[in-house]
Structure 1
Amino acid sequence: MMFWKSVVGKLWFTIILLVSVVLFVLTILLLQFFENFHVTQAEQQLTKLADKVAAIMENYEDRTAALSTAWEIVDVYSTRVAIIGDETNYWYSPNDDKLSNLPVEMFKNDEKLSKVFTEKQTIVKQGDFPVKQNGEEIHNEILVVGVPMSLFTNENGAVFLYQSLDVVERTTTQARNIIYISAGIAIVLTTIFAFFLSTRITAPLRKMREAVFQVAKGEFETKVPSVSNDEIGELAAAFNRMGRQLNDYITALNQEKEQLSSVLSSMADGVITFDRKGEMLVTNPPAERFIQAWYYEQGMNDDEKAELPEDIQELFQKVVTFEREQMTEVAVQGRNWVIVMTPLYDQAYVRGAVAVLRDMTEERRLDKLRKDFIANVSHELRTPIAMLQGYSEAIVDDIAATEEEKKEISQIIYDESLRMGRLVNELLDLARMEAGHIELRESSVYLAEFTERVFRKFQGLAKERGVDLNLSNVEEGEELFIDADRIEQVLTNLIDNAVRHTQEGGSVSLTIQSVEAGVKFDVKDTGSGIPEEDLPFVFERFYKADKARTRGRSGTGLGLAIAKNIVEAHDGYISVHSKLNEGTTFSFFIPRKEQI
């Protein structure tokens, strides 16, 4: 910091300026006083001296003695005298070459000095007269005093005393020098006093300035030492109190900020706050994912500032205009977001808004699944119920004439009732599994014997459809801790689907691979395969990839969903790989568990 901008510099400059102004005014007044005083004193002195010389010249009969006395008196006062008796008689005091004689004609011809002769007045004149001083002709400031005198019979006589004003000038110069020296001493003393005063006043202020800088850097525990009981000491104490209160406030704000940040970060819903101009201020992770998805959909980079969707902008304008809560729904990257925006108030004015974004994709999906489930269940139940109703009416109305027809109708009614029973049981099983109420009766099972028994169940069906069955089994004695009935249900479902969707001459194989972590089962067929767009949905309830399958070949559409829940209940996973017209492979993995 420059010296002139500091408190010390300003204080020093102020005191110096004040002292300088006072000394300047005092110098002018003193010089004027000294000059006027000396001139006035000289006038009075010369006037008295002239009167005395005139009296001597008028009263003394001995002219020589009178002149001698006059010269002695004049010489005491270091002045010159010109005594003019008449036109021809005039006398000058002895010349010491310090100041030459003034011509008599000058006294008579001067407009002012001539009044001594004409008007019989005492005349005082200060002016610049050409005289010789030390042998040189100079124009010097001279004071002339003229007194009328009556000598002999001539009444036009006069005594003129004149003196150089160099004495006044010398006195003024000496006074000026004294004032200059005094001013210098005063400035030095003032500087010492200013710097001494600054150490008493500005030193605590400098410490307080350093403390302010520390507080500005975030060190709110900084304190200023209070060493006095004056205003500066009170200021230091007030600063320390302010620092403590500020530290408490900052701590409280940080705690509130951390709590708010934790709440926002832990929220499943996205939160965005806007200012009055609609610019985003605060976002949490779900909101940031929404914004990133929007930028990606618009083909923008993270560094590019992009406006939010028009629906949100319009919603913000409505909130600011109507000052009440508004809601809308936006679709971004295939996900549905419901946005509820509420105004934020600064006393009576709207200063912005806060938007809560909820990802409703899963809710919408579940709602669609619920509707599809109801539609599928209704469809699956409608057909057997209609057949039961139709064939029952045929029996009641005696449409079946022979016993064979009645037995055939009864068999159909029985098969459809079994179909309805299976559908209801599978729905109940699936509901319990999805609710987490599945109970596993686990035990140690020999895999070779277990898989051979399951595989033999399909020998007849495979032979009837002309499909070749292949089993790649594990070594004898290989064990796995599982619920045998549930895993058999999974294998039965997968093998049955593979056999039913494999054309004559194709093959279905079951491969079992044992590893340290568990056992992997692969059911592979050479059937028609599953379209690529249907693969993500094969484990959904009632989903059927082959939309053209006949009722005789189709199941309930719940088998794969049940298989998936059974495998996951064993802490495993299931997947599918397929290409159209190249076959399908269902794989599931069951981890090893310690026997309880």
Structure 2
Amino acid sequence: MLWRSVVFKLWLTIILLVAFVLMILTVLLLEFFENYYVEEAEKNLMNQAENVSVVIDEHEEKTLTMDTIDQLLAPQTRVTVFFNEHQYWQNEFDEAQIPAIEPSWFVGNDQINEVFNSQQPVKKITDIPNSNSEIIIVGVPTVDEQGAIYIYQSLDVVAETTTKATRLILLAATIAIILTTIFAFFLSSRITAPLIKMRKVAGELSRGEFQTKVPVLTHDEIGELAISFNRMRRQLNYHITALNQEKSQLSSILKSMADGVITVNNQLGVMLINPPAEQFLAQLNFEDIDHDFSLPLDLRDDFKYVIENEEEFTKEVVAQGRNFVLVLTPLYIEGKARGAVGIIRDMTEERQLDKLRKDFLANVSHELRTPISMMQGYSEAIVDDIAESKEEKQELARIIYDESLRMGRLVNELLDLARMEAGHISIQKEPVSVKPYVERIIKKFHTIMEEQNIKLEKKIPIDLTYSFDPDRIEQVLTNLIDNALRHTPKDGKLSVIIEEVNQEMFVHIQDNGSGIPEEDLPFIFERFYKSDKARTRNGKKKGTGLGLSIAKHIVEAHGGTIYAKSKESEGTTFIFTIPLK
């Protein structure tokens, strides 16, 4: 709005000030000129009256005297000469310009009649009888003090002169107002232009734009203000930039942290939270459809306890099957707890690793206990001469030897698996012609397949050549084919199918055995996991439970994947891939 701007206010202030001064000056000037013209008229009339008195005294002939007086009088002036109180003379005049006054009025008016009574001059402004006109009247005694001379004229003459002066004064005042308006607008615009620019720059600063500078046009206070404003802009830009960098750095640190961070104030309002903490709250509030990351009631109580007691608090929380450790610490501002900081650490993997470690020790102990017990029992039988014949002793020694071999295989597989999990597996790739390579591995199982009358189906491309570690992949194929044969009934079927799809070699080992239960499929590649516990009690089909875990590490070391598809009573298919690159 124009009337709210500084330019308008400054312009209006100057105009009002000048107008007020001019108004007072005009009134004073008008009063001065009016008084001045009245005094000048009185002086002029007094001079004319004195001249008439001199003429009357010097001339004795009445006619000549009257003619001379007519010539001495100014226009619009009338004279009445009293030779005594009963004899008088008046000059000729235009009654349209000045009304006539009866001579008796001069004699009857006590204030005018002072000339006769005290022989003193009289000056007066009065109304004409029976008229609204005002006149200036001057009276002087004659030289011989026997009569009186009255000269008067209408105030309209003075008013006309005053009106002309008033017009000139008003014209001058109007011109002064106009010039003052132009000057005030120019001055206010000149003065407020830097202020308007500062306002614009301040608006840009409020929107976060710090590049615009205020031009320094003068070297006065406004120029110094512009210099200070630019200095403030630079400092503000520097500090805002530094704060944004610190905020961005803090945000990046919080987002990149694996642990969750929650900061609350003393009203338990969340001030700061990072993505892991949001996931933690989402798991705690999984029943809340709004997912507003609000603190649960028990967590609010924990934060309140930390703030009120100003001491650290630690607890473990279980949410959606995951274990979290929550560490709450008071947040001090100026020596007083103004909030709290919560660190949330997901301990699920550590708990699982701890469980796996315990299970691993239990499984290893269980797998080693059986062969050790058998070796101990049969060796005691030999020591105690329970086996009398040589054949019986050889049979016991053979059992002890087989169990020792089994225990050695278990230890070697554990060592291989430990090296693989530690990342120390060595892969020596070389081009391999797939068909003869796979046929050589299958040939090792011909005897078993003939004994159980298992039918073999092979689909292997003739000209397929891939680069991989032949010893490691042979270990995988041997393990998968051995598993398939051990779980395939007599007169069953085993299929080995190899194909290339999208520059990947797919290897399918399929049997029509009893299959793997659906609930066991996700865990078959874990160490010591056996899906069919009853079946593995059969000595001929007993395994260590490490083969599939080793196979998985070998395939993944080649950049491939391994998985299984199975349906109970219909069979199982293991599939692993090896990429060309």
Same fold (TM over 0.5): yes
**Residue 164 of structure 2: aligned partner:** 174
Structure 1 window deviating more from structure 2 (554-563 vs 5-14): it is: 5-14
**Residue 481 of structure 2: aligned partner:** 495
- CA distance in 2 between partners of 1:328 and 1:85 (Å): 135
Classify 1:143/1:261 alpha carbon distance in 2 versus 1 (closer, same or farther; 3 Å): same
- CA distance in 2 between partners of 1:107 and 1:333 (Å): 127
- CA distance in 2 between partners of 1:81 and 1:341 (Å): 118
Classify 1:228/1:285 alpha carbon distance in 2 versus 1 (closer, same or farther; 3 Å): same
Structure 1 window deviating more from structure 2 (15-24 vs 476-485): it is: 476-485
What secondary structure is seen at the aligned counterpart in 2 of 1:139?
coil
**Residue 512 of structure 1: aligned partner:** 498
- CA distance in 2 between partners of 1:243 and 1:591 (Å): 60
Residue 439 in 1 paired to residue 417 in 2?
no
Classify 1:204/1:383 alpha carbon distance in 2 versus 1 (closer, same or farther; 3 Å): same
What secondary structure is seen at the aligned counterpart in 2 of 1:544?
coil
**Residue 560 of structure 2: aligned partner:** 572
- CA distance in 2 between partners of 1:410 and 1:473 (Å): 44
Residue 139 in 1 paired to residue 127 in 2?
no
TM-score (norm 2): 0.77
Q: CA deviation at 1:441?
A: 5.7
Q: 8 Å contact 1:74–1:80 — kept in the other structure?
A: no
What secondary structure is seen at the aligned counterpart in 2 of 1:179?
helix
Structure 1 window deviating more from structure 2 (168-177 vs 501-510): it is: 501-510
Amino acid in structure 2 at the alignment position of 1:438: I
Amino acid in structure 1 at the alignment position of 2:134: E
Q: 8 Å contact 2:526–2:548 — kept in the other structure?
A: yes
Q: 8 Å contact 2:449–2:485 — kept in the other structure?
A: yes
**Residue 370 of structure 1: aligned partner:** 357
- CA distance in 2 between partners of 1:213 and 1:80 (Å): 78
Q: CA deviation at 1:564?
A: 0.9
What secondary structure is seen at the aligned counterpart in 2 of 1:534?
helix
TM-score (norm 1): 0.75
Question: Unaligned 5+ residue runs, structure 1?
Answer: 132-137
What secondary structure is seen at the aligned counterpart in 2 of 1:496?
helix
Q: CA deviation at 1:15?
A: 3.0
**Residue 134 of structure 1: aligned partner:** none
Q: 8 Å contact 2:76–2:98 — kept in the other structure?
A: no
What secondary structure is seen at the aligned counterpart in 2 of 1:28?
helix
Q: CA deviation at 1:27?
A: 0.7
- CA distance in 1 between partners of 2:75 and 2:515 (Å): 147
Report matched runs for 1:527-566 at 5 Å. 527-549=513-535, 551-552=537-538, 553-566=541-554
- Residue-by-residue CA offset, 1:15-40 (whole Å, 9 max, x unaligned): 33322221111011111222233445
Q: CA deviation at 1:486?
A: 3.3
Q: 8 Å contact 2:498–2:507 — kept in the other structure?
A: yes
Q: CA deviation at 1:348?
A: 6.0
Amino acid in structure 2 at the alignment position of 1:33: F
Q: CA deviation at 1:524?
A: 1.3
- CA distance in 2 between partners of 1:271 and 1:456 (Å): 60
Q: CA deviation at 1:541?
A: 1.4
- CA distance in 2 between partners of 1:410 and 1:455 (Å): 32
Report matched runs for 1:278-357 at 5 Å. 298-300=288-290, 307=294, 317=304, 335-338=322-325, 357=344
- Residue-by-residue CA offset, 1:525-578 (whole Å, 9 max, x unaligned): 222222223222111112222354453354332221111112223333211111
Amino acid in structure 1 at the alignment position of 2:413: E
Classify 1:127/1:467 alpha carbon distance in 2 versus 1 (closer, same or farther; 3 Å): farther
Amino acid in structure 1 at the alignment position of 2:159: E
Classify 1:46/1:449 alpha carbon distance in 2 versus 1 (closer, same or farther; 3 Å): closer
Classify 1:227/1:89 alpha carbon distance in 2 versus 1 (closer, same or farther; 3 Å): closer
Q: CA deviation at 1:63?
A: 10
- CA distance in 2 between partners of 1:187 and 1:371 (Å): 102
What secondary structure is seen at the aligned counterpart in 2 of 1:486?
helix
Classify 1:163/1:348 alpha carbon distance in 2 versus 1 (closer, same or farther; 3 Å): farther
What secondary structure is seen at the aligned counterpart in 1 of 2:132?
strand
Amino acid in structure 2 at the alignment position of 1:75: L
- CA distance in 2 between partners of 1:88 and 1:166 (Å): 31
Q: CA deviation at 1:307?
A: 3.4
Q: 8 Å contact 1:275–1:281 — kept in the other structure?
A: yes
- Residue-by-residue CA offset, 1:356-394 (whole Å, 9 max, x unaligned): 554444333323322322333344344555566667777
- CA distance in 1 between partners of 2:402 and 2:102 (Å): 169
What secondary structure is seen at the aligned counterpart in 1 of 2:496?
strand
Classify 1:119/1:214 alpha carbon distance in 2 versus 1 (closer, same or farther; 3 Å): same
Report matched runs for 1:194-273 at 5 Å. 194=184, 197=187, 201=191, 220-223=210-213, 226=216, 228-242=218-232, 244-245=234-235, 248-249=238-239, 252=242, 256=246, 259-260=249-250, 262-264=252-254, 266-270=256-260
How many residues were matched structurally? 577
Classify 1:495/1:225 alpha carbon distance in 2 versus 1 (closer, same or farther; 3 Å): same
- CA distance in 1 between partners of 2:145 and 2:439 (Å): 181
Q: 8 Å contact 1:311–1:328 — kept in the other structure?
A: no
**Residue 525 of structure 1: aligned partner:** 511
Classify 1:399/1:24 alpha carbon distance in 2 versus 1 (closer, same or farther; 3 Å): farther
Percent identity of equivalent pairs: 53
Amino acid in structure 2 at the alignment position of 1:141: E
Structure 1 window deviating more from structure 2 (374-383 vs 63-72): it is: 63-72
Structure 1 window deviating more from structure 2 (241-250 vs 554-563): it is: 241-250
Q: 8 Å contact 2:55–2:69 — kept in the other structure?
A: no
- CA distance in 1 between partners of 2:439 and 2:150 (Å): 164
Q: 8 Å contact 1:84–1:90 — kept in the other structure?
A: yes
- CA distance in 1 between partners of 2:174 and 2:349 (Å): 92
**Residue 455 of structure 1: aligned partner:** 442
Q: CA deviation at 1:420?
A: 3.8
**Residue 163 of structure 1: aligned partner:** 153
Q: 8 Å contact 1:56–1:66 — kept in the other structure?
A: no
Q: CA deviation at 1:496?
A: 3.0
Classify 1:437/1:66 alpha carbon distance in 2 versus 1 (closer, same or farther; 3 Å): same
Residue 18 in 1 paired to residue 14 in 2?
no
Amino acid in structure 2 at the alignment position of 1:508: L
- CA distance in 1 between partners of 2:467 and 2:486 (Å): 30
**Residue 582 of structure 1: aligned partner:** 570
Structure 1 window deviating more from structure 2 (32-41 vs 167-176): it is: 32-41
Amino acid in structure 1 at the alignment position of 2:168: I
Q: CA deviation at 1:168?
A: 2.9
- CA distance in 1 between partners of 2:366 and 2:39 (Å): 138
What secondary structure is seen at the aligned counterpart in 2 of 1:439?
coil
- Residue-by-residue CA offset, 1:298-341 (whole Å, 9 max, x unaligned): 444xxx85635556655655566566666666666655555556
Q: CA deviation at 1:475?
A: 5.5
